[in-house]
């Protein structure tokens, strides 16, 4: 780190001492982008970094709703509008009891760089609530979503801020949110992405993050003389990203032997049967444990962290932040894992990431590797603006091209600025940062 990045990071630590996830993301980013400032002294003169680390706006609000027993409930809603230098704010809405400002600031910060890497005109934001959709009836979820949008609608718009799904926010929630936005504003516009196909959604959006992750990992391993075909794969999580990462990596010739949820993991030496997982998770909204009861020869293990002890060539953490710690990373390295692709946002702790890099494990950081979701969301915005609907293959082809482009940008920046040409963490952070920095400089001190 140089003096400038160090000073800004120390300032952040002093002012946000209790926001551990945000400081974790900021530390990684500052560490990576430090070499840029030696080449660009004008950034420091213009206080660019001080502005870059600070969200443009944060909205926090009360979300009252009534449960099925007729009892009033209150949750907290958030929208972090981080940076709009290169386009309208764009980023998902997370619905999970753990949601707080630190988590949403870390996600928003990462989103700024991720969206820049896609090459598309989208700024960065993130939002959500500590509401837990798990175990709620459809009516309760609808009541919550309508109340949430009754405040959020005044802060968003097709050219202002375009939220999307994330953990806990799937097609059902996006539908309820969209209906309420339309009802209040009277506007039929592309204000949310991840919409259903009957009202403006894009084909391939559901698959995009998982598929995009596999396209990135394929580029990365092949650039380093390895291949996916014949590899044994572990995928954590069993939500949207995990399911479609499994689907695509299997089509590429990999064999997925383990998946998980927040209670535990399943192991199936014959290769996970994805249709069974889809039935349990997408249709029944059940627990991954049920897989072992339905598929003879498979096993269920209590506790989700044990999944990293399963021997594999490639690991794809696709569940949540900090799910892969140093102990998990050590187990993967000891078992000969040669590549890690982050489907989730910041699933590896700083210690785990450093351990992979030190041991020569090819490491695809989430902000680059999982950018296929937001890139396809931006394609959904384009289709909405043009009143057009592209085919699945058209969208998938564009996604493939975007992921290859992201990999090339990361590799080029790592080579130019880093001391390790395969350090794609440095590459992603620098490539993402430079475009936003140039746009901010051009727009003056705002
Ligand atoms: P989902 O809500 O669809 O799925 C999350 C999955 O992770 C669930 O299976 C959940 O299990 C599981 N999970 C949660 N915590 C843990 C844990 N500690 N260990 C193991 N499994 C766990 O979310 P998504 O698939 O959409 O998102 C997953 C990650 O990908 C998040 O980090 C998200 O920010 C990121 N992401 C998502 C994008 C998208 O397009 N959806 C785009 C880019 C990034 P359970 O059912 O028990 O909660």
pLDDT confidence of residue 414: 96
Q: What is the tens place of the pLDDT at every residue in 190-206?
A: 999 999 999 999 999 99
pLDDT confidence of residue 143: 98
Q: What CATH number has the domain bearing residue 121?
A: 3.40.50.10860
Q: How far is the CA of 237 from the centre of ligand 1 (A)?
A: 6
pLDDT confidence of residue 446: 87
Residues 125, 9 share a domain: no
User: Which residue, judged by its Cα, is nearest atom 10 of ligand 1?
Assistant: 261
pLDDT confidence of residue 316: 98
Residues 127, 30 share a domain: no
Residue 126 is a catalytic residue: yes
Q: Is the predicted pLDDT of residue 1 greater than 80, yes or no?
A: no
Q: What is the tens place of the pLDDT at every residue in 373-401?
A: 999 999 999 999 999 999 999 999 999 99
* Pairing label, strands 72-83, 124-129: antiparallel
Region 233-259: mean pLDDT is 98
- Which residues have C-beta within 8 Å of that of residue 19, sequence separation ≥ 6? 101, 102, 105, 106
Residues 70, 33 share a domain: no
Q: What is the tens place of the pLDDT at every residue in 103-134?
A: 999 999 999 999 999 999 999 999 999 999 99
Residues 346, 226 share a domain: yes
3-state SS track over 62-125: EEEEECCCCCEEEEEEEEEEEECCCCCEEEEEEECCCCCHHHHHHHHHHHHHHHHHCCCCCCEE
pLDDT confidence of residue 182: 98
Which of 345, 360, 375 is the last residue in one of the domains?
A: 360
Residue 203 CA: distances (Å) to CA of 100, 120, 206, 378 = 32, 18, 8, 12
Say which DSSP state 359 is in.
Answer: T
Domain-embedded: residue 66: yes
Q: What is the tens place of the pLDDT at every residue in 55-104?
A: 999 999 999 999 999 999 999 999 999 999 999 999 999 999 999 999 99
Q: How far is the CA of 344 from the centre of ligand 1 (A)?
A: 7
Q: How far is the CA of 256 from the centre of ligand 1 (A)?
A: 17
- Which residues have C-beta within 8 Å of that of residue 279, sequence separation ≥ 6? none
One of 126, 136, 367, 409 is an active-site residue; which one? 126
Region 286-305: mean pLDDT is 97
Q: Is the predicted pLDDT of residue 436 greater than 90, yes or no?
A: yes
Residues 93, 133 share a domain: yes
pLDDT confidence of residue 161: 98
Q: Which of 214, 291, 344, 369 to mutate to test the pocket of ligand 1 (most atoms within 8 A of CB)?
A: 344
Q: What CATH number has the domain bearing residue 219?
A: 3.40.50.720
Cα(25)–Cα(182) distance, rounded to whole angstroms?
35
Q: Of how many residues is the chain composed?
A: 446
Domain-embedded: residue 383: no
400 touches 374 (CB < 8 A) = no
Cα(272)–Cα(368) distance, rounded to whole angstroms?
26
Q: How far is the CA of 230 from the centre of ligand 1 (A)?
A: 26
User: Which residue, judged by its Cα, is nearest atom 42 of ligand 1?
Assistant: 373
51 touches 439 (CB < 8 A) = no
Domain-embedded: residue 373: no
Q: How far is the CA of 245 from the centre of ligand 1 (A)?
A: 12
pLDDT confidence of residue 418: 77
With pLDDT > 90 as the criterion, what percentage of the chain qualifies?
98
Domains held by the chain: number: 3
Q: Is the predicted pLDDT of residue 41 greater than 80, yes or no?
A: yes
Atom of ligand 1 nearest to the CA of 169: 2
Angle at 142 between CA 140 and CA 143, to 5 degrees: 65
Q: Which of 24, 95, 166, 285 to mutate to test the pocket of ligand 1 (most atoms within 8 A of CB)?
A: 166
Residues 20, 45 share a domain: yes
User: Which residue, judged by its Cα, is nearest atom 32 of ligand 1?
Assistant: 344
Domain-embedded: residue 63: yes
Atom of ligand 1 nearest to the CA of 263: 47
Q: What is the tens place of the pLDDT at every residue in 168-227?
A: 999 999 999 999 999 999 999 999 999 999 999 999 999 999 999 999 999 999 999 999
Domain of 302, in residue numbers:
208-360
In degrees and rounded to multiples of 5, residue 339 shows phi and psi of -150, 145
Domain-embedded: residue 392: no
Q: How far is the CA of 14 from the centre of ligand 1 (A)?
A: 31
Residues 222, 110 share a domain: no
Which of 120, 154, 188 is the last residue in one of the domains?
A: 188
Residues 221, 172 share a domain: no
Residues 116, 177 share a domain: yes
pLDDT confidence of residue 202: 98
Q: Which of 283, 305, 320, 342 to mutate to test the pocket of ligand 1 (most atoms within 8 A of CB)?
A: 320
Region 291-317: mean pLDDT is 97
Q: What CATH number has the domain bearing residue 428?
A: 1.10.285.10
For residue 140, give both structure tokens.
Answer: 């309760």
Name residues contacting ligand 1 (CB within 6 A).
165-168, 209, 236-242, 260-263, 304, 318-320, 323, 343-345, 370, 373
Domain-embedded: residue 194: no
**Angle between the 20-39 and 424-442 helix axes, to the nearest 10 degrees?**
70
Q: Is the predicted pLDDT of residue 20 greater than 90, yes or no?
A: yes
């Amino acid at each position: 780190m140089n003096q400038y990045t160090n000073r800004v990071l120390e300032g952040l630590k002093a002012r946000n001492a209790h926001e551990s996830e945000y400081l974790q993301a900021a530390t990684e980013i500052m560490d990576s982008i430090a070499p840029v400032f030696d080449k660009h002294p004008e950034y420091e003169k213009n206080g660019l970094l001080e502005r870059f680390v600070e969200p443009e706006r944060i909205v926090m609000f009360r979300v009252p709703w009534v449960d099925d027993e007729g009892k009033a409930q209150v949750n907290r809603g958030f929208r972090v509008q981080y940076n709009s230098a290169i386009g309208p704010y764009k980023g998902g809405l997370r619905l999970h009891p753990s949601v707080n400002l630190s988590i949403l600031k870390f996600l928003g910060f990462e989103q700024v760089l991720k969206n820049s890497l896609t090459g598309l005109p989208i700024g960065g934001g993130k939002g959500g609530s500590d509401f837990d959709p798990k175990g709620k009836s459809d009516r309760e979820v609808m009541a919550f979503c309508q109340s949430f949008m009754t405040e959020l609608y005044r802060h968003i718009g097709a050219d202002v801020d375009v939220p999307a799904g994330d953990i806990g926010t799937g097609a059902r929630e996006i539908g309820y949110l969209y209906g309420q936005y339309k009802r209040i504003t009277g506007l039929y516009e592309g204000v949310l992405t991840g919409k259903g196909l009957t009202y403006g959604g894009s084909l391939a959006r559901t698959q995009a993050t998982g598929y995009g992750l596999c396209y990135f990992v394929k580029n990365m391993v092949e650039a380093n003389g390895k291949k996916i075909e014949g590899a044994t794969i572990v995928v954590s999580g069993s939500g949207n990203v995990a399911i479609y990462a499994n689907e695509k990596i299997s089509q590429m010739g990999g064999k997925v032997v383990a998946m998980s949820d927040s209670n535990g993991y399943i192991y199936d030496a014959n290769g996970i049967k994805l249709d069974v997982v889809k039935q349990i998770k997408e249709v029944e909204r059940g627990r991954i444990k049920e897989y072992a009861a339905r598929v003879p020869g498979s096993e269920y293990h209590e506790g989700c962290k044990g999944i990293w002890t399963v021997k594999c060539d490639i690991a794809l953490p696709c569940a949540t932040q900090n799910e892969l710690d140093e102990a998990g990373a050590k187990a993967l390295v000891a078992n000969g894992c040669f590549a890690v692709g982050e489907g989730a946002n910041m699933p590896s702790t700083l210690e785990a990431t450093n351990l992979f890099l030190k041991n020569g494990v090819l490491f695809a950081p989430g902000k680059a590797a999982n950018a296929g979701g937001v890139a396809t969301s931006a394609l959904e915005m384009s289709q909405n603006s043009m009143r057009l609907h592209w085919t699945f293959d058209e969208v998938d082809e564009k996604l493939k091209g975007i992921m290859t482009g992201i990999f090339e940008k990361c590799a080029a920046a790592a080579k130019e600025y880093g001391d390790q040409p395969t350090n794609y963490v440095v590459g992603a952070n620098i490539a993402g940062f430079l475009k936003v920095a140039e746009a901010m400089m051009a727009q003056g001190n705002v």
